[in-house]
Chain A
Amino acid sequence: MTANSALIDLTGDPRRRRRERTVRFVFMTAAGVSVLISLAIVLSLIEQAWQFVVAIEFDQLLANGWFPRRGRFEFLTLFVHSSIITGIAMLVAVPFGLGSAIYLSEYAKPTSRRILKPILEVLAGIPSVVLGFFALQFLTPSVIRKVFPAADSANFLAAGIGVGILIIPLVASVSEDAMRAVPRALREASYGLGAKQWHTALRVVVPAALSGIAAAIILGISRAIGETMVVALAAGLNGIRNLNPLEGGLTMTGAIANLSVGSDQVAGNDSAFQSLFFVGLMLFTLTLGLNVISERVVRRYRQRY
């Protein structure tokens, strides 16, 4: 018997074990890359944005309007313009996105769902530059100008609607997930009390999924603020603060795009281009914050059910 124990060798094949370690290491490095990327983003933004901030006088950030070449860097203007477009976009995306979600999760039968869901997926696949062209060459002339002949060729309304269309699928899919996470038991309880379908949908399911829907909206806002091409094409380049949706103006993303296309470096005026990184940093912080918030909100309903 005791001899037996000597016979048993469980140390296994060292080559296989070595290979395991190597593979594991390779994969780990790959995962590490994602961290490096985030670091790279943050560092490159901060490094350059800092150069900008030290290069300019503080009151240049409060000067009237966003005119890099004149050393006027009123970020507030860009922010206001971005907010206006985001607002309009959400006015489009929330009702249509939520409606779609409610229909898909509460009304559509599995078969019709399989037919209807792809509509949103296709829409989600349309490149934003295409919607930018659509906003500039169709929405403005053929829709908005028909209602408001006074509208400029580049205006917030068209850009906002374009962005809104762009994020309908996002809002729809995230809030639909939330609604489908609502347990069947709640629906049965509602029907059991003699509720009609719309009672159940709007008074039971939607309230129960509210946090998820909120997350969807926040995500939508973040996406709208970050959207570039639609804005660059349809919202115009006006650096003077403008609150009229029928006229255009430069947004955060628009400013970055514009600077990257032609900033007109004149010797001794480097900060004109550096401002690009400053705006980029602001944009990054803003969207990151929104995403983190929506993360939190989502986790709330995830753990509820």
Chain B
Amino acid sequence: DGGPETGSSAVAATGANSIAISGSSTVEPISARVGERFDAANPSNSTTVEGPGTGDGFARLCAGEIDISDASRPIKDAEAEDCAANGIEYVELHIATDGLTVMTNPSNTTVDCLTFADLYALTGPESEGLENWSEANALAAELGGFAGFPDADLVVVGPGEESGTYDTYVEFVISDIAEERGQEESTRADYEASANDNVVVQGIAGNPTSIGWVGFAFFEQNADVLRAVEIDGGNGCVLPTIETIASFEYPLSRPLFIYVKTNELGTKSALVEFVDFYLSDEGVEAVGDAGYVELPAEDLEATRAAWAQAKG
């Protein structure tokens, strides 16, 4: 079991009035805001929100250490098996949508739209060691991308591997191509990684020929110093906007979840109240405040229904 040993591990799901949340740093801002507002109303409650990474969140959820796991990707089978093995039951609640935004420096005008092939050529496992955009042309062309990259320093910046954002990027952009080419399903190792999305933003803003990806929220907050790149997922180039993301028209749109442990719902009223609040209209505002895309009405209803059913 990796769980109980994890570094900032083991906020044991404890006394009736304390709620432990951990997981995706992408979702952390939402949960933090919700928690803050919930505690304001219930001072006797104790909430802890941490963002070590989606995987850590699931590990701890399945170790029974936390009540809610923030996730920027669905739970993996292996993780689900872990939970089952430990007798942990949970409900998956889709609470927001994020558009994983590929971006570059505003002064970089040569790139407007990229295919997955291009991104694979620039940031995939086979790109390890490339230091110039043009070096990626051959592979990009071979894979049927636009290619035609200029002769300029290539600086790749992105969230650390512990983040769900990274997983999503690999899953959406890299996996398929890597699979058929028999490559490791991961990005190149030699990119500037940071656990802190703002550092990523600064890395790109600070370098004219950089490329990188973050959650839409962080892009939006820094739209003035960044330039989003259109993505062609096969149906033409799409720019990430609230609309294109909400409608999943943007190829890198991804759902954000919270996974709530249901074992103690009967005994732990605070948790029930907390999630109720999370899904209430007041709670949902936090999504927008945190800069993410709120769910369309029908999706929100679906989520609330799922929660209602879980409460039984």
Q: Do A and B bind each other?
A: yes
B52 and A264 contacting across the interface, CB-CB below 8 Å: yes
Q: Is B54 part of the contact surface with A, judged by Cβ < 8 Å?
A: yes
Residue of B nearest to A267 (CB): B78
The total number of A-B Cβ pairs within 8 Å is 96
Contact with A along B194-208 (1 / 0, CB 8 A): 110001001100100
A264 and B76 contacting across the interface, CB-CB below 8 Å: no
Q: Is A67 part of the contact surface with B, judged by Cβ < 8 Å?
A: yes
Q: Report if A261-B52 is in contact (Cβ < 8 Å); known contacts: A70-B186, A240-B190, A267-B81.
A: yes
B79 and A267 contacting across the interface, CB-CB below 8 Å: yes
Interface-located stretch among B4-12, B139-147, B236-244, B256-264 = B4-12
Q: How far is the CB of B243 from chain A (nearest CB, A)?
A: 32
Interface-located stretch among B55-63, B87-95, B272-280, B292-300 = B55-63
Name A69's contact: one of B6, B60, B78, B162 (CB within 8 Å).
Answer: B162
A263 and B186 contacting across the interface, CB-CB below 8 Å: no
Name B76's contact: one of A64, A153, A263, A267 (CB within 8 Å).
Answer: A267
B190 and A261 contacting across the interface, CB-CB below 8 Å: no
Residue of A nearest to B79 (CB): A267
Max count, chain A CB within 10 A of own CB: residue among B79, B161, B199: B161
Interface of A is mostly: loop
A264 and B162 contacting across the interface, CB-CB below 8 Å: yes
In the complex, which residues 55-76 of chain A have their Cβ closer than 8 Å to any Cβ of chain B?
Answer: 64-65, 67, 69-70, 72
When distances are taken between beta carbons in the complex, the residues of chain B under 8 Å from A278 are: none
Q: Is A239 part of the contact surface with B, judged by Cβ < 8 Å?
A: yes
A267 and B2 contacting across the interface, CB-CB below 8 Å: yes
Contact with B along A272-283 (1 / 0, CB 8 A): 111010000000
Q: Is B171 part of the contact surface with A, judged by Cβ < 8 Å?
A: no
Compute how far the CA of A269 lies from the CA of B186 in the bound complex, rounded to whole angstroms. Answer: 15
B2 and A270 contacting across the interface, CB-CB below 8 Å: yes
Compute how far the CA of A266 lies from the CA of B170 in the bound complex, rounded to whole angstroms. Answer: 15
B6 and A265 contacting across the interface, CB-CB below 8 Å: yes
B189 and A262 contacting across the interface, CB-CB below 8 Å: no
Q: Is A238 part of the contact surface with B, judged by Cβ < 8 Å?
A: yes
Compute how far the CA of A153 lies from the CA of B5 in the bound complex, rounded to whole angstroms. Answer: 32
A267 and B192 contacting across the interface, CB-CB below 8 Å: no
Q: Is B1 part of the contact surface with A, judged by Cβ < 8 Å?
A: yes
Compute how far the CA of A29 lies from the CA of B280 in the bound complex, rounded to whole angstroms. Answer: 58
B2 and A269 contacting across the interface, CB-CB below 8 Å: yes
B56 and A263 contacting across the interface, CB-CB below 8 Å: yes
